[in-house]
Amino acid sequence: MSEHMKREAVLRPLIFETGSPESRCIESPALDIPDVDISSVLGGFARAQQPHLPHVTEVEIARHYEHLASVNFGVDSGFYPLGSCTMKYNPRIDEWACRLPGFAGAHPYQPAETVQGALGLMWGLQEALGEISGLPAVSLQPAAGAHGELTALMAIRAYHVANGDVRARVIIPDSAHGTNPATVAMCGYSVTQVPSNERGGVDLEALKAALDTDVAAIMLTNPNTLGLFEENISEINRLVHEVGALAFCDGANLNAILGRARPGDMGFDAMHINLHKTFATPHGGGGPGAGPVCVTEALAEFLPGPVIARDSDGSFMPVTPSRSIGRVKSFLGNFGVLVRAYTYICALGAEGIRDVAEQAVLSANYLKERLRGTYDLAYDRTCMHEFVLSGERQRKQHGVRTLDMAKRLLDHGVHPPTVYFPLIVHEAIMIEPTETESLEVLDGFVDAMLAIAAEVEADPEMLHAAPYTTPVRRLDEAAAVKQPDLAWKPAE
């Protein structure tokens, strides 16, 4: 047994099981207004019993949350190479900026002339994202990547409809993120899938066969979900435009090409950007994000409103584009996320932004080269910000699955990479180190991966029961999805 197998973690009681009925955090002052029987107002909707709230002291609450934070794994606790997610460190200055009272305390109903600073920031972010993407018209409204995809495809549909052009299909490569086909279905189009070629790019012959005037758009991720730059991107977008279709770039992987290449220059008509991946908003817990959409001038009038415009006198105003698809989000979007992104971009500047991409790509290629041989590469090419290994050999030779190896990484203090995605790679392990990790951290990860590969050969049985050091061990993942039990219930 290795040393990682010795420590059995102890689960602490839930907060409901802590404290005593007399414990209090605060003492409310005595009521100085008449007591009202609320059930006379609420009728049948009044609760029959008091809610089961924990009775704890302030120190017990403090320790409860401190403990929860300590068993939670985040970018601030360790290496988090979750492919396709860009789990990079989020600089504290961005958190500082979005908490400034003028930003955090602004009310969405305030008249525009009283929030010129906030609107000016949004305008500046639109300009910056337009420059970075090469697609000048920008809406900051969508609240997530998938939401941005939907918004862009709705704008593309509105464009075709405005041209009296009825089209039914959208083309997506088989390496795509699951949100792409979901977006297509929600827009009322049907999906035509094209296969990848042996280099991990779009199979051009299959694409040509799929293209005709029934195609509304192609949705392409570049770099794609294999971490590979689409070598034929100009040709692909030329073919797409030839049949009157438009090209959408899933920009979730923008981190890899920041300041080096622009989707607009590659011939794309629209893209979404995941601010919570590329532009430093903490994510992973399902918190607020933002998926701005950038489009060509031809699509600008279809963007959701409001977008921020600058008047000739220099003032900023929310305006609705002339043939807007309408609102996709209340008020002005997830403003706090926009402040973080703008701060991040300003703090780094043009050169710093380019450094991000270069470091991210360098880190990924370093890991790929150090793990080559021990693990099989799904596609043996220079990668961008991430790369995909296959655990198929370990499964065939030793009966150890990628899932087992991923779980074992937890014992090494590393958040496992993305596994079993993209779907076209058997036993996929998708690693994205990001630009914010030092060489020491990257080497530590390689050491862990090499140690696990040795364990696969020496003691495959042991890996089936990993992890050994986490508060909970191997969970029933199917049951966790199908029958989630998330609510604590008091003992009767």
418 makes contact with ligand PLP (CB under 6 A): no
Residue 179 vs 237, nearer CB to ligand PLP: 179
Nearest CA-CA partner of 142 in 323, 255, 270, 316: 270
Binder of ligand PLP out of 194, 215, 252, 254 (CB under 6 A): 252
Side-chain half-sphere exposure of 252, counting CA atoms within 13 A: 27
Least distance to ligand PLP from the beta carbon of 186, Å?
Answer: 13
**Sign of the CA dihedral with 401 first, then 407, 411, and 414 last:** positive
Phi-psi bin for 237: left (phi > 0), alpha (psi -120 to 50), beta? alpha
CB of 192 to ligand PLP, least distance (A): 18
Between CA 454 and CA 448 the distance in angstroms is 10
Choose which of 4, 19, 64, 84 interacts with ligand PLP (CB under 6 A): 84
Contact flags string 284-323 toward ligand PLP, x per CB under 6 A: -----x-x--------------------------------
Per CB under 6 A, contacts with ligand PLP among 148-187 are: 177, 179
How far apart (Å, rounded) are the C-alpha atoms in residues 54 and 196? Answer: 54
Q: Give the residue with the Cβ less far from ligand PLP, 177 or 398.
A: 177
For ligand PLP, the closer of residues 180 and 390 by Cβ is: 180
Residue of 141, 237, 274, 402 interacting with ligand PLP (CB under 6 A) = 274
What are the backbone dihedrals phi and psi of residue 390, each rounded to the nearest 5 degrees, phi first? Answer: -120, 130
Is residue 225 involved in binding ligand PLP (CB under 6 A)? yes
End-to-end Cα distance, the chain: 43
Phi-psi region of 338 (alpha: psi -120 to 50; beta: other; left: phi over 0): alpha
Is residue 432 within the footprint of ligand PLP (CB under 6 A)? no
Q: Is 230 in the site for ligand PLP (CB under 6 A)?
A: no
Listed ranges 18-26, 144-152, 348-356, 479-487: which one lies at the site for ligand PLP (CB under 6 A)? 144-152
Instruction: In angstroms, give the least distance from the CB of 463 to ligand PLP.
Output: 28
**264 in contact with ligand PLP (CB under 6 A):** no
Q: Which is nearer to ligand PLP, 385 or 412 (CB)?
A: 385
Tell me the backbone φ, ψ of residue 443, rounded to 5 degrees: -65, -35
Residue 221 within binding range of ligand PLP, rule CB under 6 A: yes
Binders of ligand PLP among 38-77, rule CB under 6 A?
none
Query: Which of 92, 94, 98, 61 minimizes the C-alpha distance to 76?
Result: 92
324 binds ligand PLP (CB under 6 A): no
Strand, coil or helix: 308: strand
Please say which residue, 255 or 394, places its beta carbon nearer to ligand PLP: 255
Separation CA 181–CA 171 (nearest Å) = 9
227 versus 321: smaller Cβ distance to ligand PLP: 227
Residue 300: burial class (beta carbons within 10 Å; 0-12, 13-18, 19+): buried
The region of 118-126, 249-257, 440-448, 465-473 touching ligand PLP under the rule CB under 6 A is 249-257
Q: What 3-state class would DSSP assign to 392?
A: helix
Cα dihedral 282, 287, 291, 292 sign: negative
Strand locations in 124-202 (E): 137-139, 169-173, 190-194
| Shortest distance (Å) from residue 224 CB to ligand PLP | 8
Q: Which stretch binds ligand PLP (CB under 6 A): 70-78, 250-258, 261-269, 383-391?
A: 250-258
Interface residue with ligand PLP, options 56, 146, 371, 410 (CB under 6 A): 146
Closest to ligand PLP by CB, 251 or 391: 251
106 vs 192: CA distance, rounded Å: 45
Closer by beta carbon to ligand PLP, 145 or else 336: 145
Q: How far apart are CA 129 and CA 290, in angstroms?
A: 13
Residue 275 contacts ligand PLP per CB under 6 A: no
Q: Which is nearer to ligand PLP, 142 or 267 (CB)?
A: 142
Question: Which member of 82, 144, 388, 466 binds ligand PLP (CB under 6 A)?
Answer: 144
Residues 6+ apart with CB under 8 A from 420: 402, 403, 427, 428
> Which residue minimizes CB distance to ligand PLP?
145
Please, what sign has the CA dihedral across residues 335, 341, 344, 350? Answer: negative
Interface contacts to ligand PLP, rule CB under 6 A: 84, 144-146, 177, 179, 221, 225, 250, 252-253, 274, 289, 291
